[in-house]
A and B are shown apart, each in its own frame.
Chain A
């Protein structure tokens, strides 16, 4: 919580009556519930649609009747509303109901858009695997932010770190491997990771050694990355002639990928995506189950206490920020060598900032941030899918720009506190100087 918010919190408690978050969200769900049951359900197309589980032709799937589902979700929203507005005793249930209701938006949007399009069904397994794949850079970026901010250094420069490593990694690939060699591809991914570490080291030096305002140093990184990668693209990558290249190949997980119907679609994907799970897991393991992880967290919460216990706060901060940078480097490699084989200007396209929002959504915990990344990955995949479905409302097709802006709107709603107030590490943003 920032100082300004603390000041505002004081004014809030002074007030006797106010609508609390629970009542407001309760009312909101109530209104949506009524609208769904009374307005939407009778109006939409009554023919059966299908959630397919396989690629065509003749896919296995689940058929459903859109109005019935919409009424069911509407009723659940009304229950959530009743619990939220209800007495103190109901609040414990209300918070669970709110989370379920928020999750209920996913089937709601899917059912609604299918009912409003002229397609009979859509493949939900592919949608899921796309969401997971698109969540990769967000989860890695959020982990970057996690390492940095839990150690007490705000990292706005995730975006720039990812962009630089995407550019530097692909440049290496184009220069040395002519963008067409597995050996050089992996070498370039390592270079991208190291480049991420280097950029993070710059952020660390600015924030720790020179005590630059941490947000300013992040902005410097972002601007620098834009210029540097633009330069590299036009002066180096473009001149090699290898502007597009072979990306990492798909790997099927043994056993799991041979599960009938869904196995092949869900468990065949590319290597950086698989590494993402490993990195999120080891981040949790190291941060919560090792002495070093405890030290990192201590430096982010109370560096002076940490110092008293003999921890070298500055060193821990350097280590943690640079470790985060290495992870962002891998995310950069995902952009230019896994998602696409090639580098474009500003190809990260605000993913670094969405990753930060995922971190806030996850309340600065590894698994929470991962869940946030999944949410944003899903809203991206959904945006593309809905665009493909061609959803029409009373004769007007909903424009693609609407779906493209979906992840950003979701981010905005999330940081504005749809999930309840989220409080970051206490010492994040404040420079630390060792006692003499």
Chain B
């Protein structure tokens, strides 16, 4: 095991450098998890006969090769912030919200509907933009609130009910957007199924004319992360959520209305996803298509776990995630390999973040804080 020990010694030295020079203690596990995932991903890439360094170099340039690509990567990350917040917020209350995708869809539908209403054209931007964002948020809130209500009233586990609601809203969206008889939301002038374009006044101002457009939605969602951090750490509601999440019995005993907290936590979760969807509709696409949000909910889970459900850390994790996806096509082009490698690396990151004992063992990281995914009671029995 000579090579094994030299690897651990090398990683030990890396670890010392990070501790003493850059002082990145709280981020260790996440950083090492990312490193380890790229190493394993590299092995996989070389297995199919591609030089991993070529592939990663292309990926890196795809992510941030020039200002335009960087802006595009940031733009790609915006909706992920919302879907990750949706998971993180519910997670604090001990709920596992797998329904961000459905909540994004619901928010997207309502946003696109309100954005295309005829009276919107006469509204100044200062009113039209809040209207479309609010509409999306409301759609997400309702679709997120349903599993909360089901959980408290009937005991239906949110993991199952949110997954089912994802499928239900997906089919509903496909019908509303695709149907010609009767026409529900379909843009009848368009050959592809999509909703009517939203009014020009409701389009979010753009920051950089990149591909996709970087728009003000980024600021809105980044701001939302700070708001959530404040709510969770500094308000009564945040305290109630944390208490319910840690021990619902104790919360009940302390006089907290557990059911109310659970429903509102789910509804607020859905609100973040809805806001993200509205910002996507208003800032990027200008209309709604069901395919836009494919897998975004699952990505949100991974991002939130990578950020250890800390709202501000979500920003960084979402940017990493979104830019990896934005950079993947260039890697596919130059290294001639499937973009699914990025998916595998992302899954590995999640794996190592969740099972941080592997990382701690390999890199000799001390247990300075408990892994939230071991201590948490999230989900409970299904």
Contact = CB atoms under 8 A, between A and B. Distances in A.
B378 A215 contact: yes
A399 B236 CA distance: 47
A6 B249 contact: yes
A217 interface: yes
Interface centre among A1, A224, A360 (most CB of B within 10 A): A224
A375 B251 CA distance: 39
B150 A212 contact: no
Interface string A183-212: 000000000000000000000001001111
B158 to A, nearest CB: 10
B373 A216 contact: yes
A228 B344 contact: yes
B175 A401 contact: yes
Contacts of A412: 150, 156, 161, 164-165, 168
A409 B168 contact: yes
Given A227-B344, A402-B175, A408 B167 contact: yes
A262 interface: no
A222 to B, nearest CB: 7
Interface stretch (B121-129, B222-230, B345-353): B345-353
* Interface size range on A against B: 35 or more
B350 A7 contact: no
Contact of B161 (A1, A206, A416): A416
Interface residues of B, number: 70
B338 interface: yes
Contacts of A314: none
A212 B181 contact: no
B216 interface: no
A356 B98 CA distance: 15
A399 B373 contact: no
Contacts of B94: 4
A357 B160 contact: yes
Contact of B171 (A1, A206, A404): A404
Given A223-B301, A231-B44, 5 more contacts: A2-B248, A154-B379, A206-B351, A227-B344, A405-B168
Interface of B: 44, 48, 94, 96, 98, 150-152, 154-157, 159-161, 163-165, 167-168, 171-172, 174-175, 178-179, 181-182, 244, 247-249, 251-252, 258-259, 262, 295, 298, 301-302, 305, 337-338, 340-348, 350-351, 354-358, 371, 373-374, 376-382
Interface of A: 1-8, 10-11, 149, 154, 156, 206, 209-217, 219-220, 222-224, 226-228, 230-231, 233-235, 350, 353, 356-357, 360, 396-397, 399, 401-402, 404-405, 408-409, 411-412, 415-417, 421, 424-426, 428-429, 431
